[in-house]
Amino acid sequence: MEASSQFLLTVGCILLLGLLTSTIAQHTFLPRVTLLLIFGALIGQDTLDVIPQIFSERFDIIADMALLMVGFLLGGKLTKDSLRESAGKILWISISAALLTTIIVSLGLIWAGVSHEVAILLGCIASATAPAAVMDVVAETRVKDKFSNLLLSIVALDDVWALVLFSIGMAVVTSLNGLGGDMSFLVVVAKEIGGAVILGVLIGLPAAYLTGRVKKGHPILTEALGIVFACGGLAIWLGVSFLIASMVMGAIIANVAKHHEYPFHAIEGIEWPFMVIFFVLAGASLELSALKNIGFIGVMYILLRTTGKYLGAKIGCQFSRAEQATKRWIGVALLPQAGVAIGMALVASSQFPEYRQVLLSIVISSTVFFEIIGPVFTRLAIQRVQSA
């Protein structure tokens, strides 16, 4: 079969699967994200291995496109009105959930006998979440209340804090290993985050004034996709975080473009097909064989990360005086974890090859768990708060 026919046939089948999955999800307790990941795992390399290589080789491009749209849409939630109403909650809960997760996982693993260096690295990695999974669960439930808006705003900032904590952790481990206390990781992350913010502003400001002119009040799909993909391409080329850049750009447009009635309508109409392909291929790339190697330390990591997210978010709610329902369920909704954690583990493994085996085995196996099970808890949290 020709490569082009293989590619098109795979795209068609996966998109039809997404339609079927959405229907099935409405009649089960499982969110469609989890169902897509499970299906992807079933047809992936570790099991049936039916995805053509020409398609799986392009996963990085598809993932980048999907995550760019996720970042753009999340940024659009950070409007002046929403921040004026809940800025304190967003900052307190996001920082507390990330920081306490890092502390609890690190100290818990040290108590369990893990070396200080590995425990610190795993603690920092544990702070990251999966914005794409959380956002899709919110979209699937079609709930637009204070809790879901707060959740999306917190998730938008979570990976920023995770990158900062990870850079600090890398510098600390470098110092513990007697390599001179090199703080260059802080500089690298400062460049990655700072550069992304600057790029998002530089593209977002002119885009806020220029878009929505062809069709009065509404950016057309060509405009929306054009600025999102241009921002992503420049971010990758410059070596800064494309997720943060697209998020900042989305926030700028949402707050500055006064002539826009609904600036993100065009993107919201097309992001789901990309998300379907993204989650199926993410499921196909999961290394299910890693689950059998998780062991005691892996189980501890899962339990400690769950505890850290729950307690951290709850303490943040306490300081920000959030509602009782939010205090009870926001930490549960933050459990999904995906590619950012694996990316951090790969960076740490490259810098400290002596820890490679333990880092990758624990992070990959726990990511399989959190990526499939996490969205179930996110949907449960949204439903429980809605019915409270």
CATH topology of domain 3-22+30-387: Na+/H+ antiporter like fold (1.20.1530)
Reported as a single tens digit per residue, the pLDDT across 300-355 is 999 999 999 999 999 998 888 888 888 888 988 999 887 778 778 877 887 788 88
Reported as a single tens digit per residue, the pLDDT across 13-24 is 888 877 787 778
Q: Judge whether residue 39 has pLDDT over 60.
A: yes
Q: Judge whether residue 7 has pLDDT over 70.
A: yes
pLDDT of residue 19: 77
- For residue 194 the two structure tokens come to 């700072």
pTM value surpassing 0.75:
yes
Confidence of residue 360 (pLDDT cuts 50, 70, 90): confident
Q: Which long-range contacts (CB under 8 A, 24 or more apart) does 77-83 make?
A: 77/149, 77/152, 77/153, 77/156, 77/254, 78/153, 78/156, 78/247, 78/250, 78/251, 78/254, 78/255, 79/251, 79/254, 79/255, 80/255, 82/149, 82/153, 83/153
Confidence of residue 165 (pLDDT cuts 50, 70, 90): confident
The mean pLDDT of 180-187, rounded to a whole number, is 59
For the chain, give every domain's residue range: 3-22+30-387
The mean pLDDT of 98-106, rounded to a whole number, is 93
Confidence of residue 228 (pLDDT cuts 50, 70, 90): confident
pLDDT of residue 77: 75
